[in-house]
Amino acid sequence: MKRVVFNQKGGVGKSSITTNLAAISAARGLRTLIVDLDPQCNSTQYLLGENAAHTQADIHGLFEQILTRQLKPASADEFVHETPYENLFLIPSSPEVGDLHAKLEAKHKIYKLRDALNRLDEYDAIYIDTPPAFNFFTLSALVAAERCLIPFDCDEFARQALYSLLDNVRETQIDHNEALQVEGIVVNQFQPRASLPQKIVAQLAEEQLPLLNTRISSSVKMRESHDESRPLIHLAPNHKLTKEFVALFDELHPVTTP
């Protein structure tokens, strides 16, 4: 299963959601890979901390290989790094990957990430973190993925941007990846006692948009998790925020009984 976490708006929690769901997946015994496509490197920093600056084989190297190899397919496995957590692996990002955008786009390489990830058959789950823009890298991720998870923070600007985002996903489904499914919209940084978030969520529900039931609260514990470079399932397994992420993971992976 390949899941892309995508929103064109910044600051909605893409990297936090990607990393924490992947960490739960790994803790459940699934061999799990995170692919960080964002030049801001947030997922990479989250998992590796100070060691993030010392990684050499990264997503920039993979895309350089895609550009230079004409006949031999690119190999993603040489860019995979172990993390401090069992079953959890990472293809780290690099600030320099953005420099390749124009070359990759000009040479129409949007299917190459899909092809490279399809050869990584040793992973039970792959999570793809994306930049806050609809560009070559996000399109490549949508082409490569089977499922799309959309983080959403509760403000009017985010609500208006959501319609454009869904249009882009539908267009990608039609043009490039018919198998892509929108898993749902996850409401992040939710404040249940505030009237505006409740109003906006109610509006989305009235419009029959694919809202997930689980809400992710706003909490200082997330910043602590970032600062310590430890996903919540390892930092504070009994915290309310951690339990919300576990509930989200379980909602995305319902257990079916015979």
- How many whole angstroms separate alpha carbon 65 and alpha carbon 124? 25
Query: How confident is the model over 93-134, as pLDDT tens digits?
Result: 999 999 999 999 988 899 999 999 999 999 999 999 999 999
- How many whole angstroms separate alpha carbon 38 and alpha carbon 48? 15
Pairing of strands 88-91, 81-82: antiparallel
The percent of residues in the chain predicted with pLDDT above 90, rounded, is 77
Least confident of 118-122, 193-197, 241-245: 193-197
Cα angle vertex 249, ends 180, 258, to 5°? 85
CB atoms within 10 A of CB 135: 16
Section 151-166 average pLDDT: 85
Task: Quote the strand ranges of the chain, DSSP E.
Answer: 2-5, 32-36, 81-82, 88-91, 125-129, 147-153, 181-190, 211-217
Section 16-40 average pLDDT: 97
Query: Which residues, 6+ apart, have CB-to-CB distance to 103 below 8 Å?
Result: 67
Model confidence at 193: pLDDT above 80: no
Instruction: Compute and round to an integer the Cα radius of gyration of the chain.
Output: 18
Order of strands, sheet of 88-91, starting from the edge strand that comes earlier in the sequence: 81-82, 88-91, 32-36, 125-129, 2-5, 147-153, 181-190, 211-217
Whole-number average pLDDT of the chain: 92
Query: How confident is the model over 227-240, as pLDDT tens digits?
Result: 999 999 999 999 99
Token pair for 21: 């769901």
Report all structural domains of the chain as residue ranges with CATH numbers, in order of start. Answer: 2-248 (3.40.50.300)
Query: How confident is the model over 217-230, as pLDDT tens digits?
Result: 999 999 999 999 99
Query: How confident is the model over 33-70, as pLDDT tens digits?
Result: 999 999 999 999 999 988 777 677 899 999 999 998 76
pLDDT recorded at residue 258 = 45
The percent of residues in the chain predicted with pLDDT above 70, rounded, is 97
- How many whole angstroms separate alpha carbon 15 and alpha carbon 115? 23
